[in-house]
Amino acid sequence: MKPVVVRNIPRASQNVIAQLAGFGVSTVHEAMGRYGLMKPYMRPIWAGASVAGSAVTVLAQPGDNWMLHVAVEQCKPGDLLVVGVTTDNTDGMFGELIGTSLKARGVVGLVIDAGCRDVKPLTEMGFPVWSRAVSSKGTVKATLGSVNIPVVCAGAAVNPGDVIVADDDGVVVVPLKEAEEVAIKSAERVANEDEKRRRLASGELGLDMYKMREALEKAGLVYVEDASKLG
């Protein structure tokens, strides 16, 4: 694989992206059929952020953040930078300076399968980052990678232009061509959940609301009065 930068990538409509941001990761992930989630070791560096954006992808070498500088130029307002690394690494590839640059270009956030540093200034400037580690470990600028090729980030396949949704629950990847449909299904799901929430809050049991009792009995679930009745 030769190092390459792809300049033009497809992107979902800002309208769809905004909707997906509003639904949040858990709803979108369910609406997709429980697919596309990054591994749960990806955590936000500060709580409360909730964003969505078009993936500009980077494949970087461990301990080398050269390609992040290259990637900045390829970002447009509304994009979200996604960094995969060729091997497990926690070095602090991203910090305040590149964050300042990304923010100046209208990038909505960063998802990196490595480390992040400058947690305090990044929090103060309100730039959201999801990373596998917080680490000051400085990196070199010595070896090429690529920008805007398909990458694997935290166990999820990401294509340039996919919609990335990220919040306190984690990070999910919505394939570009499914984005619209997922937004519609997410909306249905939310509508449906409001009603469920109300009923559960009033004391109705999920067992009844979801009509699970018959299936449980059929599957063989047995109720006994107390432990003395156990085999």
Using the rule CB under 8 A, is 194 a contact of a second copy? no
Beta carbon nearer to a second copy, 19 or 159: 159
Q: Which is nearer to a second copy, 18 or 204 (CB)?
A: 204
Cα–Cα dist 25/165, whole Å = 6
Is residue 77 close enough to count as binding a second copy by CB under 8 A? no
Nearest distance from C-beta of residue 211 to a second copy, angstroms: 11
**Contact flag: residue 162 with a second copy (CB under 8 A):** no
CA distance 29 to 23: 10
Which CB sits closer to a second copy, 1 or 191?
Answer: 1
Rounded to a whole number of angstroms, the minimum distance from the CB of residue 32 to a second copy is 6
> CB-wise, 17 or 182, nearer to a second copy?
182
Q: Please check whether residue 159 is in contact with residue 149, taking contact to mean a CB–CB distance below 8 angstroms.
A: no
Residue 92 has phi, psi (to 5 degrees) of -80, 75
Beta carbons of 69 and 141 less than 8 angstroms apart: yes
User: Should residue 33 be labelled a site residue for a second copy when binding is judged by CB under 8 A?
Assistant: yes
**Residue 141 touching a second copy (CB under 8 A):** yes
User: Total number of residues binding a second copy (CB under 8 A)?
Assistant: 104
CB of residue 179 vs a second copy: minimum separation in angstroms?
A: 13
| Contact letters for a second copy, residues 111-140 (x by CB under 8 A) | ----x-xxxx------------xxxxxx-x
For position 186 contacting a second copy by CB under 8 A, the verdict is no
Contact between 189 and a second copy (CB under 8 A)?
Answer: no
Least Cβ distance, residue 188 to a second copy (angstroms): 15
3-state secondary structure of 1: coil
Report how far apart, in Å, the C-alpha atoms of 231 and of each of 46, 220, 224, 226 are: 50, 16, 11, 11
Q: Which residues lie across from 54 on neighbouring strands? A: 79, 163
Q: Render 69-89 in DSSP notation, one character per residue.
A: HHHHTT--TTEEEEEEESS--
Show Cβ contacts of residue 214 under 8 Å, excluding neighbours closer than 6 positions.
none
Q: 17 vs 67, which CB is nearer to a second copy?
A: 67
